[in-house]
Each structure stands twice: as structure tokens, then as C-alpha cells.
Structure 1
Amino acid sequence: MEATSTILLALRGPITAADVPGLCDQLAARLRDSDATDAVCDVGALGRPTVATVNALARLQLVAGRHGCRIRLRGAGPELLLLLELVGLTDIVRSDEPRGGSVETGPDPPGRPNCLPRPEPGPVPVARPSPGAPGDRRAGTSARCPGTS
């Protein structure tokens, strides 16, 4: 059995867009100097998650992936887990937290209706311009509007 090494990266919040390059550089330097296969990001002290938080976690995962490593989250609250699910990052950034409560992650959680069906792969429909020139009041219809002369 192959031994695994883990790096712990504690993230304190709030994270701003200006913080992201420094966090990525810090993780890259630590991964270069180790044989780690996992990087655990302790996100318990982040506070309320923002778009910058999600951006930071996605970029940290990219850095980790370049070093043959993966990111796991420790201390992720329900808001962060839901935000990661909404942007489609739950399969990339994994959480050590047990699933439960009001937030479920994963492709199709049991007992939860599929509110938005997943699109089938295939050609993307092309928007067609409406007939008539832009600003043409008659574009698309020959009927008169009620109340106009």
C-alpha cells in the first residue's frame, strides 16, 4: 500500500480577489517541496463564502492538480457546500464533512427532486434574427397594435 502525505492549508476570511494569487503561490511552493498527494484546506474560519472564496478554491484545485494532488475541505459549512454545488465544483473540490442536514452534494442526491434537468449533449441551438431591420416597427408582424393609428 502506498503511503500518502497531506499538506494542511488554513484559509482565513474573508478572501478577496487580490488574495488568490498569493494563496496559489503558497500552495504551489509547499507542494513542490513535498511528496503530498492531498492538500486539506481548513475553511472553518472563512466566514460567509463569496465568489472570491469559490474562485480561490477552484484555482487552488488547479494548482494542486498540476502537482498530482487533490484538494479536500475541512470545516466547510452548509453555505459554502451549497455554493460549490451551485457552480458545479463538488466533484472537483471534495469535503471531509459528512453529508447531512439541508445541504446535499453530488450528482443526484437521493430524496431530492431533480428541479433542473441536465441538458443532453448535442448541438447548441443558434439564435435566428427576427425579420426586419433593427428599429423597424413592422418587424415580425403585420398586425396593428390596439390603441394605435
Structure 2
Amino acid sequence: MNSGRTHGLLYVTASSSPPVVVVAGPIGPGDAPQLCDRVRAAQESAPGDGPERGPTVICDVSGVTSTDLATVDALARMQLAARRAGGRIRLRDPSPKLLLLLRLAGLDEALGSGGQPLGDAEQREPPLAEVQEAVETGDPAV
């Protein structure tokens, strides 16, 4: 494992299958190109998942300290870079806040972090379509 850090970003070079890119610290707007390069390098060092797809790269985001649109943008660009090379990325251990932001942006399933519950059903509000209002026939019009 590489112990040096560059702008809070770390790439694990261990020969794991699938390869793992560890991202730690805050992600700034200028970090996306470097992260994309690391995803492509990880893809090149790993065998493909099959004849029709390139390798999947696991992005461990458990150490990400920023939950903002720059983080979402960088993760989306990493997925785009992986797909252009014939593969994909999957997120490992996103924080609940990051998972929520990805879900709000519509990227949770595209980044492989979908399907995880955000909380108990009792904690969430019902969808607006289920709200019903009773109307009394004798009520005056407003």
C-alpha cells in the first residue's frame, strides 16, 4: 500500500481483484482529473470482468470528509472515465450524507451505491401522492 498522500487522495496499488482506489480527505474541484487517471490506471492493471466489460474498480470512499457537489462531480467523472474504458466503478462505504446527496442527484444507482436504506420507514415522510384531504360538503369556498 502506498503511504504517501497527494491532496488527500490515495491509490492502493495492492494486487487485489477487483482493484481498489481509496479516496480520503476532502475532494476539491481540481481533484477530478487525478482521480480519473487513477481509476484508468487501476483498470489497466486488472483483468476484465468478462469479454463484454472491462474491470470493475472499487472506490473506497469511507475516508471522504467532504459531502458537497464537488465530491459528487468527481465521482461522476470517475464513473464516466471508467465506462469510457469499458469498465465501471463501485463505491465502498459511502457515508450516509454522501449516499443521500448521490441519491438526490440521481447518481446512486449509476455509481453502484443504490439499494441501501436511508433510515427506517417511520423516519421518512410519505410521498405527496398519498396525502388525502377530506372535504366537507358544507364548507364555504375559499
Bigger proportion of residues as helix: 2
2:41 equivalent in structure 1: 29
C-alpha separation in 1, matches of 2:25 and 2:76: 16
CA contact (8 A) 2:20 2:57 kept: yes
2:93 equivalent in structure 1: 75
2:30 to 18, 23, 34: 18
Give me the TM-score of the superposition, normalised by structure 2. Answer: 0.64
SS of equivalent residue, structure 1 residue 94 = coil
Say if 1:101 and 1:27 are closer, same or farther in 2 by CA, change over 3 A.
closer
Identity of aligned residues (%): 39
Detail structure 1 runs of 4+ shifted over 3 Å in the superposition.
111-116
Aligned-residue Cα RMSD (Å) equals 2.5
Count residues with an aligned counterpart: 105
Compare CA radii of gyration and give the structure with the larger one: 1
CA contact (8 A) 2:43 2:56 kept: no
- Give a deviation string over 1:10-64, Cα, whole Å, max 9, x none: 0012010111111111211221233242111100100231111101110000011
2:65 to 32, 47, 51: 47
Give me the TM-score of the superposition, normalised by structure 1. Answer: 0.61
